Structure 1
Amino acid sequence: MVENFLHEYAKLIADYPEKIKIERVELGENFVEVIIYADKVDTGKLIGKDGKMINAIKTVIIGCKAKDATSYRVTVKSIE
C-alpha cells in the first residue's frame, strides 16, 4: 500500500516518471525502508527545498501507521 502510494505520487512530481522505481527493504520486524530511485533531475524535486517535500511525504506515511504497526523510512536515491 505504501509503496504504491509513493510510486504514484513520485510519478506526479517527476519530470521523468518512467524512471521512478520503488524498492522495499525489510530491516527488521515491523521496520521497512522504502527507497525511491529517480533521475538525477527528479531527486531534487522529491526532496524539495530544505527537505520540505520529503518531510511532507513522510508525514503522510506516518498516517499509514494507524492501520499498520510497521514503521517506514523513506530514502530518495538518484539513478546514475
Structure 2
Amino acid sequence: MTDVKELVLTIVRPLVSHPDKVSLDVVESDRFMEYNLSVDPSDIGRIIGKQGRVIKAIRTLVYNVRTKEPKKVRLNILEEGAQS
C-alpha cells in the first residue's frame, strides 16, 4: 500500500505548481484499494493533461504495480472540497 502511495506522490508532485497541496488518501473496500488524489484546483489540468494523457499514463503505472492484497487498485482525482 505505501509503495503505491509513494509512487503516485513521486510522480504527481513534480507536475504541479503547488506540491504542498497534494494529498493522497487510501480507502479500502471489499474489491478495491482506492487512492484518492487531491490537488490544488489550478493544478487539476496539469494532472489530467491534454485529452487525459497524463492521468492515463499515471494510472497505467499504478495499476501495474504488484500489491500484496488481491484487490484491484483505483486512482481517483478529487475536486477540492470533495474530501471528507
Same fold (TM over 0.5): yes
Tell me, which stretches of 5 or more residues in structure 1 are unaligned? none
Counterpart of 1:60 in 2: which secondary structure? helix
- Letter paired with 2:17: D
Task: Give 2:71's aligned residue.
Answer: 70
Task: Give 2:20's aligned residue.
Answer: 18
- Letter paired with 1:17: P
Determine the C-alpha separation between the residues in 1 that align with 2:19 and 2:8.
12
Counterpart of 1:8 in 2: which secondary structure? helix
- Letter paired with 1:52: R
Task: Give 2:43's aligned residue.
Answer: 42
Shift of 1:25: 0.5
- Letter paired with 2:61: V
Paired residues, number: 78
Report the structure, 1 or 2, having the larger strand content: 1
Q: Does the aligned pair in 1 maintain the 2:47–2:55 contact within 8 Å? A: yes
- Matched-pair identity in %: 24
Counterpart of 2:79 in 1: which secondary structure? strand
Q: Which residue of 6, 19, 23 corresponds with 1:4?
A: 6
Tell me, which stretches of 5 or more residues in structure 2 are unaligned? none
